[in-house]
């Protein structure tokens, strides 16, 4: 079949899916018809970087081709110009002169050296930009002073890569001129300035910023301004405290107080003593406030207890992506924790494999007594562990033991996930106990549960009491998962899970059609294992 037998519109949709520029070049050389379709795509985005993948191919700067064939310039929509810090200043001025004559919509500047006050003054004369990103690592911080007024009627996306040292009053003054912003990335801004800045941006839905523990002091008499209805929130922070930076969780909750607005929450956090533990109080508050909208919950290596992971999956009915750290003895415990997340498609876990625990006859009476108390609906007790340290002296927060429609602790669930009448709690689950583990991981896990001691109806979880024999610890396999385990995790009833990450390995499952000459065709489920290149 010749290319003339296929409508051009069909070819256009097919060629739009081609990613590799080398393939686009080949298509341009195939025929005149394909050349007319592929050439605009080939010159749509130009990059001046001249390093090939194999370092053997000489790549010409795009300008050499455009100078010889000026008619191709009409297809250019996006240009990346990369140079070194030793470039002559007149080259930068020439580039700015050219840009000032173009109807630019987006401008991104990334430079290690300071471009100089004269260059920045010329750049600040640009108007009608919809997107601006400034990453200047040396010289005074560039935060749109004297420029924001020119962009007040057009700017919707802004990235400021270095705000450290800029007084909050100056940042607030700048953002008062940018009410149309819908996406904002701030690096190094004072954390106390974020809430008043957000109050000036009623249309903001995407926020990516830092939390600086030393720049915020919590006062019980401070009234936070009303923030916009954020749908995507990314927070970056670090701390020397194992429980995370002080006031971090309270500060995040105040950024997203509106009911059912947040779709994606990402936390990039670390401590010098290990992984941050996400408090149960913060997690339950997030699940209660955004139970019908939260679909992506990624906290990196920050640790969640298995019961808290189960509560997140149960209450957030639209959850599709989860990334966190957990401590678990096996894959089956993880499967039970995520069993109610029917829409979950991606699960990436940093697992601390815990030793298996075994029951001994000497504790049989104690086991029966504790199991009875944990499943008693008439007198729910606070979630606690008598074998661990006592909880920190923090005010105890409580939820009603019998939720009602008017109760402030009631969680409204999506009607597409029916529950038994009057039952707002997850089904009874069976979890291994970690109370006798002497490892530091087990202690840190329990301490994180105790710090936020909710009067939570414990009949939603069932913890069989087991005691560990000394020999069981040494024989425990630290790599407690196989390809078959992951496959079973994906193929659970009503499961949409197709991507599972555990540590440095990532598993991808899919249905494929297998054809056998003698047996015919059949649809089988394949799971591929690879290294997680995002780590």
Domain boundaries, the chain: 1-43, 235-354+485-507
Is the backbone of residue 309 left (phi > 0), alpha (psi -120 to 50) or beta? alpha
Residue of 488, 238, 434, 252 lying closest to 326 (CA atoms): 434
Architecture of domain 235-354+485-507: Alpha-Beta Horseshoe (3.80)
Residue 130 burial (CB < 10 Å; 0-12/13-18/19+)? Answer: middle
Cα separation, 156 vs 180, in Å, equals 5
Q: What is the mean pLDDT of the chain?
A: 75
User: In sequence order, what are the beta bridge partners of 462?
Assistant: 430
Q: Considering all CA atoms of the chain, what is the largest pairwise distance in Å, rounded to the nearest integer?
A: 89
Pairing mode of beta strands 499-502, 505-516: antiparallel
Cα separation, 169 vs 167, in Å, equals 5
Cα separation, 404 vs 422, in Å, equals 8
Q: What is the pTM assigned to this prediction?
A: 0.72
Q: Which tokens sit at 149?
A: 């007024």
Helices 306-315 and 280-289: crossing angle, nearest 10°?
10
From residue 55, alpha-carbon distances to 46, 48, 51 in Å are 19, 15, 6
Q: Which tokens sit at 488?
A: 């079973």
Cα separation, 164 vs 518, in Å, equals 69
Tell me what pLDDT residue 450 has.
33
Q: Are 105 and 154 in contact (CB under 8 A)?
A: no
Q: Within 13 Å of residue 309, how many CA atoms lie on the same side as its CB?
A: 31
Residue 445: count other Cβ atoms within 10 Å of its Cβ.
Answer: 25
Cα separation, 465 vs 456, in Å, equals 19
Q: How far apart are the first and last CA of the chain?
A: 46
**What one-character DSSP code corresponds to residue 109?**
E
User: In sequence order, what are the beta bridge partners of 185?
Assistant: 159, 208
Residue of 358, 435, 426 lying closest to 389 (CA atoms): 435
Tell me what pLDDT residue 527 has.
94
Residues with Cβ within 8 Å of residue 493, at least 6 apart in sequence: none
**What one-character DSSP code corresponds to residue 406?**
T
User: In sequence order, what are the beta bridge partners of 234?
Assistant: 208, 266
From residue 48, alpha-carbon distances to 70, 257, 315, 376 in Å are 17, 45, 49, 69
Residue of 163, 152, 214 lying closest to 185 (CA atoms): 163
List, for the chain, all residue ranges whose pLDDT scores fall below the cut of 50. 220-221, 359, 361-364, 366-478
């Amino acid at each position: 079949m010749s290319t003339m037998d296929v409508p051009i519109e069909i070819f256009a949709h097919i060629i739009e899916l081609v990613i590799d520029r080398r393939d686009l070049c080949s298509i341009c050389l195939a025929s005149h018809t394909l050349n007319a379709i592929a050439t605009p795509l080939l010159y749509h985005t130009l990059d001046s970087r001249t390093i090939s993948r194999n370092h053997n191919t000489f790549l010409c700067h795009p300008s050499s081709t455009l100078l010889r064939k000026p008619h191709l310039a009409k297809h250019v929509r996006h240009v990346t110009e990369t140079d070194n810090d030793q470039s002559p200043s007149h080259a930068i001025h020439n580039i700015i002169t050219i840009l000032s004559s173009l109807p630019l919509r987006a401008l991104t500047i990334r430079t290690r050296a300071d471009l100089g006050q004269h260059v920045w003054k010329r750049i600040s004369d640009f108007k009608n930009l919809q997107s601006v990103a400034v990453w200047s690592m040396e010289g005074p911080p560039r935060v749109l002073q004297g420029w924001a007024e020119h962009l007040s009627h057009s700017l919707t996306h802004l990235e400021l890569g270095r705000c450290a040292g800029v007084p909050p009053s100056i940042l607030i003054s700048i953002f008062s001129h940018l009410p149309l912003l819908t996406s904002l990335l701030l690096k190094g801004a004072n954390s106390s300035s974020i809430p008043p800045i957000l109050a000036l941006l009623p249309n903001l839905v995407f926020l990516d910023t830092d939390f600086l523990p030393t720049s915020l002091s919590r006062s019980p008499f401070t009234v936070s301004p009303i923030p916009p209805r954020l749908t995507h929130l990314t927070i970056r922070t670090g701390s020397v405290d194992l429980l995370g930076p002080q006031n971090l969780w309270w500060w995040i909750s105040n950024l997203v107080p509106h009911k059912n607005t947040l779709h994606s929450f990402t936390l990039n956090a670390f401590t010098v003593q290990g992984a941050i533990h996400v408090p149960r109080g913060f997690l339950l508050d997030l699940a209660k406030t955004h139970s019908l909208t939260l679909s992506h919950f990624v906290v990196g290596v920050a640790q969640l207890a298995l019961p808290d992971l189960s509560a997140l999956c149960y209450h957030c009915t639209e959850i599709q992506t989860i990334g966190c750290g957990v401590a678990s003895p096996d894959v089956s415990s993880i499967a039970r924790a995520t069993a109610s997340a029917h829409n979950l498609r991606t699960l990436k876990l940093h697992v601390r494999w815990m030793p298996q625990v075994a029951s001994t006859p000497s504790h049989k009476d104690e086991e029966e007594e504790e199991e009875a108390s944990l499943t008693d609906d008439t007198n729910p007790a606070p979630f606690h562990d008598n074998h661990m340290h006592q909880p920190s002296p923090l005010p105890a927060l409580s939820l009603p033991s019998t939720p009602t429609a008017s109760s402030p602790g009631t969680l409204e669930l999506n009607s597409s996930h029916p529950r038994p009448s009057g039952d707002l709690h997850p089904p009874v689950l069976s979890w291994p106990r970690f109370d006798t583990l002497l490892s530091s991981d087990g202690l840190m896990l329990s301490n994180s549960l105790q710090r936020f001691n909710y009067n939570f109806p414990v009949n939603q979880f069932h913890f069989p009491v087991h005691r560990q024999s000394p020999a069981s610890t040494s024989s425990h396999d630290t790599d407690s998962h196989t390809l078959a385990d992951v496959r079973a995790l994906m193929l659970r009833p009503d499961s949409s899970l197709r991507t599972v990450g555990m540590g440095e390995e990532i598993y991808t499952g899919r249905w494929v059609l297998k054809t056998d000459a003698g047996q015919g065709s059949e649809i089988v489920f394949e799971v591929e294992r690879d290294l997680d290149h995002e780590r």
